[in-house]
């Protein structure tokens, strides 16, 4: 994991006469057991992770493994620039059929300069300012897929960074191809019956805490441990992951995160004994919601949540989760959980969405109904192929509009540029999980790591934008900044 300046590398960009900082390295979030081995029977089907790098599956054109390049001689080419993310197999290019027409998807970087290459596709986690394909070609759109939080790349959470792109697929509902419900397979997932309350009350009597915390990735932008540590002063929390651990899982099999992943059925059954699950996203961004939110609901526990500030918009009804930010202090939150813990009728109101007719949020229902990609749904594309087709269709439409404009410039205007907006990845500067940032010492690892990452992301985004727009003032400013940091580092050695 990149830790502030320790991960700082100077890279000279050939021919550009300017240096760039390579950003935070790719930080894969490895939660307890990892997220790669999702396998949970529910409603008779197996739910696998929606990660584009995981086992979502690969689209094949039936009966053809052909390279596609020759087949589609006049078709637009979409070039996957990020290595390792090419949703076709085998070969380096493939003809794809989309609603509006066909394109060629390729991962062969040699076609970058080709006039037919209309779009470059990037995976956010891998995107580095220092490795961006420059100079940028005017006829090409840049498309960004980034379903993860900024923990993996803060550059994209700054206006200068996100505006480098034309099309986005992010967790935000404002994105061109929104992935907000990427961790929710469907309504049935929410409706699964909860472990009966008497059974869970029995576990309480046997000494289980009301609250569960299961987290093994401890130092994250949302600074969750600092809050939980404070909360633990007022109410018992059973913590099984590496962060703030105070209990052991009941069997060696469950303790071994390689066998018992976070989606292991035996582990889930164990977790469902708890009435409340502490559910903190690793970063706070509008519409960034993950399994940390949906899994407790699946299991019939009440999430005690901090994450997307707009999470309420997506909830099955207006009384299904507890929002940490509604409470003025951890102590007040603890008092409320204690109240619900001792009042079954009030507690059960939080599970009303599991009853027939209990899901009343029309926005949620409509979003699930209308999304064009599926989570492990054999009838729908996964969102990686789905986004690829979205870009293909966009480029076909753009070509058509350009042609119409060329044919009669007087009557038909040239197509307007389409530019991504900061709302597509709205993640403000990290704030402490508890307390004020001024009260936290400079040597605090969270502060050192994430606040710095945030500002480095800004510098990288601005530097890259300046190079693309050839803004010498800005390049000079960035160079001074790098120089300063470099000098500081040398002094510390
Ligand atoms: C929550 O939903 C119930 C039932 O639809 C409604 O009566 C109530 O006014 C809602 N409360 C809020 C705060 O929206
Ligand atoms: C793509 O975005 C850039 C800004 O980053 C803009 O200058 C360009 O015109 C856009 N291109 C298209 C085809 O919309
Ligand atoms: C160059 O960048 C500076 C600093 O961000 C900005 O004030 C200025 O307007 C930019 N110039 C151009 C031509 O974009």
Centre of ligand 2 from the C-alpha of residue 165, in Å? 7
Three-class SS state of 79: strand
pLDDT of residue 481: 66
pLDDT of residue 69: 56
User: Looking at the CA of 414, which ligand is closest?
Assistant: 2
> Using CB atoms within 10 A of its CB, is residue 233 exposed (0-12), middle (13-18) or buried (19+)?
exposed
Name the pairing type of β-strands 117-123 and 102-106.
unpaired
DSSP string, 378-418: TTS--HHHHHHHHHHHHHHHHHHHHHHHHH-TTTSPPPPP-
pLDDT of residue 239: 97
Going by CA atoms, what residue is nearest to atom 13 of ligand 1? 318
pLDDT of residue 472: 73
Centre of ligand 1 from the C-alpha of residue 318, in Å? 6
pLDDT of residue 51: 41
Residue ranges of the chain with pLDDT lower than 70?
1-73, 474-475, 478-479, 481-493
Question: Residues 137, 81: contact at Cβ < 8 Å?
Answer: no
- Mutation test of ligand 1: which of 315, 316, 317, 318 has the most ligand atoms closer than 8 Å to its C-beta? 318
pTM value is 0.83
Task: Return the structure tokens found at 225.
Answer: 């441990």
Task: Return the structure tokens found at 43.
Answer: 């409603």
287 Ramachandran zone, left/alpha/beta (phi>0; psi -120 to 50): left
DSSP string, 199-232: HHHHHHHTT--SEEE-----S-TT-HHHHHHHHT
Burial 370-381 (b: 16+ CB within 10 A, else e): ebebbbbeeeeb
DSSP β-bridge partners for residue 20: 11
d(CA 85, CA 128): 15
Q: Give the side-chain half-sphere CA count within 13 A for 11.
A: 15
d(CA 396, CA 64): 23
What interhelical angle do 224-231 and 330-341 show, nearest 10? 60
- Mutation test of ligand 3: which of 159, 469, 473 has the most ligand atoms closer than 8 Å to its C-beta? 473
From the alpha carbon of 469, which atom of ligand 3 is closest?
Answer: 14
Task: List residues near ligand 1 (CB under 6 A).
Answer: 318, 360
Distance of CA 321 to the CA centre of its chain: 21
Task: List residues near ligand 2 (CB under 6 A).
Answer: 141, 163-164, 166, 417-419
From the alpha carbon of 474, which atom of ligand 3 is closest?
Answer: 2
Centre of ligand 3 from the C-alpha of residue 471, in Å? 6
d(CA 271, CA 40): 14
pLDDT of residue 68: 56
Does the C-beta of 471 come closer than 6 Å to ligand 3?
A: yes
Closest CA to 178 of 289, 48, 323: 289
pLDDT of residue 245: 95
Q: 10 Å Cβ neighbour count for 492? A: 7
From the alpha carbon of 318, which atom of ligand 1 is closest?
Answer: 1
Name the pairing type of β-strands 9-12 and 19-22.
antiparallel
pLDDT digits (tens, 9 = 90+) for 39-53: 222 333 333 444 433
- Mutation test of ligand 2: which of 137, 166, 168, 396 has the most ligand atoms closer than 8 Å to its C-beta? 166
- Mutation test of ligand 3: which of 462, 466, 468, 471 has the most ligand atoms closer than 8 Å to its C-beta? 471
DSSP β-bridge partners for residue 211: 237, 276
From the alpha carbon of 462, which atom of ligand 3 is closest?
Answer: 5
pLDDT of residue 71: 59
Going by CA atoms, what residue is nearest to atom 11 of ligand 2? 417
pLDDT digits (tens, 9 = 90+) for 128-184: 888 889 888 999 999 999 999 999 899 999 999 999 999 999 999 999 999 999 999
Task: Return the structure tokens found at 324.
Answer: 């940490």
Going by CA atoms, what residue is nearest to atom 10 of ligand 2? 417
> Using CB atoms within 10 A of its CB, is residue 244 exposed (0-12), middle (13-18) or buried (19+)?
middle
Task: Return the structure tokens found at 217.
Answer: 């990735």
From the alpha carbon of 360, which atom of ligand 1 is closest?
Answer: 5
Centre of ligand 3 from the C-alpha of residue 443, in Å? 34
């Amino acid at each position: 994991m990149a830790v502030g300046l320790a991960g700082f590398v100077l890279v000279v960009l050939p021919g550009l006469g300017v240096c760039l900082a390579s950003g935070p390295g790719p930080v894969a979030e490895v939660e307890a057991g990892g997220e790669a081995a999702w396998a949970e029977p529910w409603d008779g089907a197996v739910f696998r992770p929606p990660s584009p790098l995981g086992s979502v599956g690969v689209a094949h054109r039936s009966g053809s493994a052909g390279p596609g390049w020759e087949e589609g001689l006049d078709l637009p080419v979409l070039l996957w620039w990020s290595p390792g993310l090419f949703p076709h197999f085998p070969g380096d290019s493939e003809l794809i059929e989309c609603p509006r027409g066909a394109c060629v998807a390729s991962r062969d970087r040699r076609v970058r300069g080709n006039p037919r290459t209309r779009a470059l596709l990037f995976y956010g986690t891998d995107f580095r300012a220092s490795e961006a394909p420059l100079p940028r070609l005017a006829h090409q759109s840049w498309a960004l897929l980034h379903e993860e939080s900024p923990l993996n790349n803060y550059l994209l959470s700054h206006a200068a960074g996100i505006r480098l792109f034309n099309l986005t697929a992010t967790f935000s509902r404002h994105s061109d191809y929104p992935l907000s419900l990427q961790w929710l397979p469907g309504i049935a997932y929410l409706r699964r019956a909860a472990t009966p309350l008497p059974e869970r009350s029995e576990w309480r009597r046997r000494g289980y805490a009301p609250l569960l915390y299961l987290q093994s990735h401890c130092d994250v932008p949302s600074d969750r441990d600092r809050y939980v540590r404070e909360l633990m002063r007022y109410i018992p929390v059973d913590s099984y992951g590496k962060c703030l651990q105070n209990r052991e899982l009941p069997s060696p099999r469950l303790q071994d995160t390689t066998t018992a992943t976070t989606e292991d059925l035996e582990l889930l059954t164990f977790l469902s004994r708890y009435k409340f699950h502490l559910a903190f996203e690793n970063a706070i961004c509008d519409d960034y919601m993950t399994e940390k939110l949906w899994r407790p609901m699946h299991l019939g526990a009440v999430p005690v949540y901090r994450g997307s500030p707009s999470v309420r918009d997506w909830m099955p009804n207006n009384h299904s989760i507890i929002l940490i930010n509604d409470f003025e202090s951890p102590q007040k939150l603890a008092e409320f959980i204690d109240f619900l813990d001792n009042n079954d009728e009030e507690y059960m109101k939080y599970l009303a969405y599991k009853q027939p007719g209990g899901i009343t949020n029309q926005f949620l229902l409509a979003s699930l109904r209308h999304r064009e990609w599926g989570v492990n749904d054999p009838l729908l594309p996964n969102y990686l192929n789905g986004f690829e087709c979205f870009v293909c269709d966009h480029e076909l439409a753009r070509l058509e509009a350009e042609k119409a404009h060329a044919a009669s410039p007087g009557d038909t205007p040239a197509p307007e540029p389409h530019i991504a907006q900061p709302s597509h990845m709205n993640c403000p500067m990290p704030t402490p999980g508890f307390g004020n940032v001024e009260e936290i010492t400079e040597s605090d690892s969270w502060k050192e790591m994430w606040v710095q990452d945030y500002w480095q992301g800004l510098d990288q985004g601005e530097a890259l934008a300046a190079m693309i727009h050839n803004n010498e003032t800005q390049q000079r400013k960035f160079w001074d900044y790098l120089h300063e940091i470099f000098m500081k580092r040398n002094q510390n050695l």
